[in-house]
Amino acid sequence: MTKSQLQGEARLAAVRRQFSEHFTMEEFEENSHDFTNCMPADCIPMFEEFCAKILEPIRELLGKPVQITSAYRCPRLNTVVGGVPDSFHVATPLQCAVDFVVPGMTVQAAFDRIRLRSYLAIDKVIHEKRAGKEWLHVQWRRGLPPRRVALIFDNGTWFKTEYRVMAPPVANKELWGEA
């Protein structure tokens, strides 16, 4: 096998990397544009932790699979999709964001359950509505106290809404942002 083939095989194995039981690196890098969107190696541990502490518990809270629609964005992809320059999607080892929908559940119902019944250390949860489409945006900051902000973005207008902090259902305060 040539060096190029070995590098290709190594990249393929990395792309198939499991971040957690239900989430893979591949779905975090996916995009519909004609260029690669490779996550920096120093962001991988942060995304693994994000999946364990935020996405898997959200999946459990909602009782349904979560379908990621946008996650890691290289700076080029962020520009192409019209993302803000300081977007949490352009991840660093200390922050990240994921957009998702929950098949079989309205975006509003998922948003309400997360903001009103969640114990998670979420920085922001945003119900985004643009051009007839809706999705949830969840962002997380590693190593900082969670702000637990709930917002609605409705076709150019921002609304702040309630975020209730519930007692964690388990003794693991680390998931709650108290460790």
Q: Give the start-to-end residue ranges of the domains of the chain.
A: 3-176
Per-residue model confidence (pLDDT) at position 164: 78
Point out which residues pair with 149 in neighbouring strands.
124
What is the SS3 assignment for 97-154?
A: EEEEECCCCCHHHHHHHHHHHCCCCCCEEEEEEECCEEEEEEEEECCCCCCCEEEEEE
Per-residue model confidence (pLDDT) at position 73: 95
- SS3 (DSSP) at 59: helix
Cα atoms found within 13 Å of the Cα of residue 70, Cβ hemisphere only:
24
Position 171 pLDDT exceeds 50: no
Average pLDDT over residues 164-170: 61
Average pLDDT over residues 70-83: 94
Q: Which residue has the higher pLDDT, 49 or 169?
A: 49
Per-residue model confidence (pLDDT) at position 10: 56
Average pLDDT over the chain reads: 87
Position 60 pLDDT exceeds 60: yes
Average pLDDT over residues 84-110: 95
Per-residue model confidence (pLDDT) at position 127: 97
Q: What share of the chain in percent tops pLDDT 70?
A: 83
Tens-digit pLDDT profile for residues 8-43 = 555 555 556 899 999 999 999 998 898 899 999 999
C-alpha–C-alpha distance, residues 86 and 15, integer Å: 25
Strands 133-141 and 67-70: unpaired
84-91 LR contacts (CB < 8 Å, sep 24+):
88/123, 88/139, 88/140, 91/39, 91/40, 91/43, 91/46, 91/47
Q: What share of the chain is helix, strand, coil (3-state, %, to 5)?
A: 35, 25, 45
Q: Per CATH, which fold does 3-176 belong to?
A: Muramoyl-pentapeptide Carboxypeptidase; domain 2 (3.30.1380)
